Amino acid sequence: DMKRRPLVLANWKMNMTPSQVLPYLDQVIPEVEKDTGADVAIAAQDLYLAQMVKATTNTRLAIAAENAHWTDEGAYTGETSPKALAEIGVSYVLIGHFERRKLFNETDERVNLKTKAALKNGLKVIVDLDEDMSTYDTVNPNNVVLAQLRAALAGISAEELDQVAIAYEPTWAIGSGEAASATAAQKAAVLIRQSLKNLYSAGVAEKIRILYGGSVTTKNAAAFLSQNDIDGVLVGKAALDPKQFLELIDIAQ
């Protein structure tokens, strides 16, 4: 069994005020530099990204966007170009987060187009798959998550997939304080990995990182991270507190 390097991704969402950004980074960077056993990234609103990239230059802390458009430029008022994100030094982009799917008409087709555009620009992508209660904790091969997975990755090569991680997030667990069980999350991760094996190859499926997201805390993170097929966590609320974020990184080592 190949050991995948864990990824701890904070998702600030539309939180944090401008004056909180640098103090947060100042607090976490020295510890992130010491904890070399996991990859660490923070996704933040676009407004903060250039400043965050600058503050983390030559550190192990990577910066992520929470969304990006599917074209490099054009008449798309209010949108953010993946080309511009790459050019300012953003490393990752989160595509297809549940809140974007639910509140901003993010369809499977757009998730696919956005993923392709981000990869083409050299950004690493975390593709977010969201499962509702109807198939939770089953091994249903018609699982909505697997349909989202196939749609998101349509036309993406095995080589490109090297730059992709998958986040499995039950919709009802996001921001609710009620996490999935670690065994149910592991079951979903196995289904996702099996599906990647069918779509690509065993080698590709073994290499790709699958994250769990949904009310991860310093109390439950170890249970998720100790599962064979869970290679990281996507953390919203708990990561707004730099101390808890550092503890989560420590747990992921």
- Which residues have a catalytic role annotated? 97, 169
Using CA atoms, how far apart are residues 43 and 197, in angstroms rounded to an integer?
A: 29
Annotated binding site: 11-13, 175, 215
Q: How far is the CB of 98 from ligand PEP (least distance, A)?
A: 7
Task: Decide: is 223 part of the binding site for ligand PEP (CB under 6 A).
Answer: no
DSSP string, 65-92: ES---SSSSSS-TT---HHHHHHHT--E
> Quick one: which of 130, 131, 169, 229 contacts ligand PEP (CB under 6 A)?
169
- 44 vs 205, which CB is nearer to ligand PEP? 44
Which amino acids are annotated as binding site for substrate, given as ranges? 11-13, 175, 215
Q: What is the DSSP letter of 19?
A: H
Q: Is the dihedral of CA 169, 132, 138, 202 positive or negative?
A: negative
**C-alpha span between 249 and 253 (Å, rounded):** 7
| 3-state SS assignment for residue 224 | helix
Q: Using CB under 6 A, which of 6, 7, 8, 11 touches ligand PEP?
A: 11
Stretch that binds ligand PEP, among 74-82, 118-126, 201-209, 213-221 (CB under 6 A): 213-221
Q: Is there binding between residue 185 and ligand PEP (CB under 6 A)?
A: no
CA 227 from chain center: how many Å? 18
CB 182 within 8 A of CB 222: no
CB of 120 to ligand PEP, least distance (A): 25
Q: Measured at CB, which residue is nearest to ligand PEP?
A: 236
Question: Is position 166 an interface residue for ligand PEP (rule: CB under 6 A)?
Answer: no
